[in-house]
Amino acid sequence: METQIKNKFLLVPILALFLMLMLSVTISLPVQAAIPSFSKSNFHNPLKIDNKYFPLNPGTTFVYKGTSEGEPTRDVFTVTDKVKEILGINTRVVHDDAYVKGEHEESTDDWFAQDDEGNVWYFGEFSTDLTTDSNEGSWEAGVKGAKPGIIMLAQAEVGDKYQQEMAKGLAEDTGTVLSLNEEVRVPYGSFSNVLKTEDFNPFEPDILENKFYAQGIGYIKAEQVKGGSDEEHLVQIKGKINDIQTTEVPLVSNDTSSEQ
């Protein structure tokens, strides 16, 4: 009996210590903000896409260079003045041309719109593999159960996880915000307070990719951190960003890149 009593008394401080450790871990974990739900009624000016991490101004062209499986790549991302109505919402058409070793291998139209809170939604893509004439991977919100995903949150916080593509069995990419204060240099310029994400495709579970978004510019860099060494860097901008004329000359600092 005395042994049982002693054992009970010994368990009390052990349990208390365990609870304290669990509480400290819980407190230290980042709290994910509520991810917005899609509502057609929340899009009164959907073509005004001025999210600071993902601005899309018609007439702007972003040029990227990198490598894929050891081969040189070039990607030309053009914000057009074209509009496509999806689920009763006007979306901005962005045309993307991908080149490998100088050969034009893929042509894609992506569709984006911004809600009243400033979240940028991704409504799908129509992609053509020019080497096979295949449209595999194409999807559109409202077709075969697909829904709009989020490409950039209005108020991103570290730990936020969101669905970028919502076409079950076809396109289900997710993004997680890892940092808001990265320092990044690409051929186009140097940037501070860069948003960093981890992107995951459930159909390629052995691959993880980090993407980087600069304020006032948007997407500037991608790098595989698991499953390969592919990378891509912003090298040139032609046209305007948020009605601010840019130059075609690589910029050297974050301040000048957002002001010219």
How far apart are the C-alpha atoms of 226 and 160, rounded to whole Å? 21
18, part of any domain: no
- Other Cβ atoms closer than 10 A to 149: 23
pLDDT for res 258: 34
Are residues 153 and 160 in contact, defined by beta-carbon separation less than 8 angstroms?
yes
pLDDT in tens, 131-183: 999 999 999 999 999 999 999 999 999 999 999 999 999 999 999 999 999 99
- The least confident of 10-14, 56-60, 180-184, 222-226 is 10-14
Identify whether 134 is part of a domain. Answer: yes
Q: Which domain holds residue 182?
A: 40-259
Bridge partners for 92 per DSSP: 83, 112
CATH number, domain of 167, equals 2.40.360
Does 98 fall in a domain? Answer: yes
Q: What is the mean pLDDT of the chain?
A: 86
Residue 35 belongs to a domain? no
DSSP string, 112-136: EEE-TTSPEEEEEEEEEETTTTB-T
Position 158 in a domain: yes
Query: In which region does residue 243 sit, left (phi positive, over 0), alpha (psi from -120 to 50) or beta (all else)?
Result: left
- What confidence tens digit (pLDDT) does each residue in 71-97 have? 999 999 999 999 999 999 999 999 999
Domain annotation covers residue 19: no
- Residue for token digits 């595999």? 136
| Percent over 70 (pLDDT), the chain | 80
Examine residue 163 and state whether it is found in any structural domain, yes or no: yes
Strand partners, 200: 174, 208
Structural domain count, the chain? 1
Please determine, for residue 235, whether its predicted confidence score (pLDDT) is greater than 70.
yes
Whether residue 4 is contained in a domain is answered as: no
Q: How would you classify residue 228: left for phi > 0, otherwise alpha for psi between -120 and 50, otherwise beta?
A: left
Residue 230 has pLDDT above 60, yes or no: yes
**What pTM, to 2 d.p., does this model score?**
0.82
Percent of the chain with pLDDT over 90: 76
